[in-house]
Amino acid sequence: MPYIAIEDVTTVKDRGHTAIAYVIQYGTSQVVRRYSDFDTLRKALVQLLPTVVVPHIPEKHSVMKYFLNPINAKNDIKVIAKRKRLLTVFLQRCYMIPQVRECVVFLKFVDPGVRWADVLASPPVSILPSSNLLAPPLCPTKPSPLHLLLPVPHSTSINNFKPREEDKQIDTRFKDYERVFKVYRQLTGDLTKSIKRQKRHFKGMVKDLGELGAYYNAFSLEDTYNMSFGIEKTGQAIDINYINSEAFAFKIMTTLEEPIFDFHQSSTVVLNVLKFRRLKEIQLFIVETTIRRRQARAESLQNAQEQVNRLSEVLRRNAESSPTIAEAVRRLDKGESAKISPLSKMFNAQSKSDDIVTMTDRERATEVEQIQKELVKLEDCHAVVLKDIEQVNTAVDENCTQQFLQFQKQWRALMQDFTESLLIWLKDNLKAWQDAKDEINKMQVHGSS
């Protein structure tokens, strides 16, 4: 794997304004990209690779923060350092994913000779369909004409969707993935809030310890009642506690807070990929429902025509004995429809099949012919969606499995690292206070006469 990281931060001119930019070291070359470039890169990768868990990027500053302090919010050293770390992680993770590493858009992003605005305005980004559901999941830039005819289900339809009987087994597997990553998202969200509270607590404690240590050190200089050594050791213990706690507070931020929030964001990304798969299932359901509905309509039209033919045959046999029947036969021969009373229309207004009765033979035959043409295309669309879903299931299953195993590995390493840091902090502080206690025990205080 070639070296890839954010090496430095610089500024660039953009439409008369100065903006922060990041210097990417990729192998032996360097390329400068803004945060907005990283944002558009990720969006393009999500569209080009809908079944891949594309790594997330750090969030933008809140609008309120910009409003209250726009200059410092943008140029704050800590914010920029944090972005450097997280954007480096983003680039390294992207390179670890073969589909992303080999994607032409990613390769152009790290190419110093390519202008990023030109990439966004040219293929493959410029020819992406409006929705990933209207393209092959493994090659969205090459949709077939049939893909463009597919329905695009609304995301709210997921809640009420029930899979087909033949899909229930594999659907259970993906529901298990969904449940696991929802638990990760919920727990890491709660843990992130708790960590922020602990970090504020440590920062406050560090400030208090710094002031307290200074008072003890100053007091030890007075050599009051031969207690200076004990007071000095106490001050040293407080100073060590201060230094260790300051380092531990930073450790919480870099070793715990950022990775935990990363788990939270990554869980959301995985759930979005699973959501895409579910929408493809709903797309198949809509196509199959439409096929059944159009087949039922064609069958109703054909049955109605058969009924009309039988009725016509009976009327013709009885036409000689009744002038009224003879008139009805004449109307049938001319292809005229029977007049429906206003009351009948009113009571039957909710029925979609009653219009068949009022149709002429020609109208019924024309609609049946049209439906048969539609069914040919619908069956072709059905075959396309089935193939898409097969590809989506394979790719998403593989990516979710990898992500889950990676989560387990990272979580174990994270907890081990944090536990070791916590033990070091406790041991160092304990030793400092034990030394102070030993020195205090040596003191012999004699009151003045």
pLDDT digits (tens, 9 = 90+) for 286-309: 999 999 999 999 998 888 877 767
In terms of pLDDT, which residue wins out, 185 or 439? Answer: 185
Helix 228-251 / helix 361-442 crossing angle, nearest 10 deg: 170
Q: Return d(Cα 271, Cα 181) in angstroms, integer.
A: 7
pLDDT digits (tens, 9 = 90+) for 318-339: 666 667 766 666 666 665 544 4
Element (H, E) at 13: strand 4-14
In this structure, which amino acid lies at residue 155? S
Lookup result for tokens 């790290």: 110
pLDDT of residue 225: 55
254 DSSP 8-state letter: I
Q: Return d(Cα 235, Cα 9) in angstroms, integer.
A: 41
Q: Return d(Cα 164, Cα 281) in angstroms, integer.
A: 9
Q: 104 phi and psi, to 5 degrees?
A: -65, -30
| 311: confidence class by pLDDT, cuts 50, 70, 90 | low
90, burial (CB in 10 Å: exposed 0-12, middle 13-18, buried 19+): buried
Mean pLDDT of 131-138: 93
Q: Which of 422, 178, 413 is nearest to 277 (CA)?
A: 178
pLDDT of residue 184: 93
pLDDT digits (tens, 9 = 90+) for 231-246: 777 877 788 877 777 7
Q: Return d(Cα 30, Cα 358) in angstroms, integer.
A: 75
Residue 102 has pLDDT above 90, yes or no: yes
Going across the sheet that includes 4-14, the strands are 4-14, 17-26, 29-34
| 364: confidence class by pLDDT, cuts 50, 70, 90 | confident
| 344: confidence class by pLDDT, cuts 50, 70, 90 | very low
Query: Do 148 and 129 form a contact (C-beta atoms < 8 A)?
Result: yes
Q: Return d(Cα 271, Cα 5) in angstroms, integer.
A: 28
In this structure, which amino acid lies at residue 86? L
Q: Where are the beta strands (DSSP E) in 260-340?
A: none
Lookup result for tokens 């989506």: 392
Q: Return d(Cα 175, Cα 183) in angstroms, integer.
A: 12
pLDDT of residue 224: 57
Q: Return d(Cα 234, Cα 237) in angstroms, integer.
A: 5
Give strand pairing partners of 13: 18
Q: What is the mean pLDDT of the chain?
A: 82
pLDDT digits (tens, 9 = 90+) for 104-124: 999 999 999 999 999 999 999
pLDDT of residue 223: 61
Extract the tokens encoding 123.
Answer: 């293929």
Q: Which of 140, 110, 137 is nearest to 126 (CA)?
A: 140
pLDDT of residue 53: 96
User: Rounded to two decimals, what is the model's pTM?
Assistant: 0.78
pLDDT of residue 449: 43
Residue 363 has pLDDT above 90, yes or no: no
By percentage, how much of the chain surpasses pLDDT 90?
Answer: 44
All structural domains of the chain: 1-128 (3.30.1520.10)
Residue 264 has pLDDT above 60, yes or no: yes
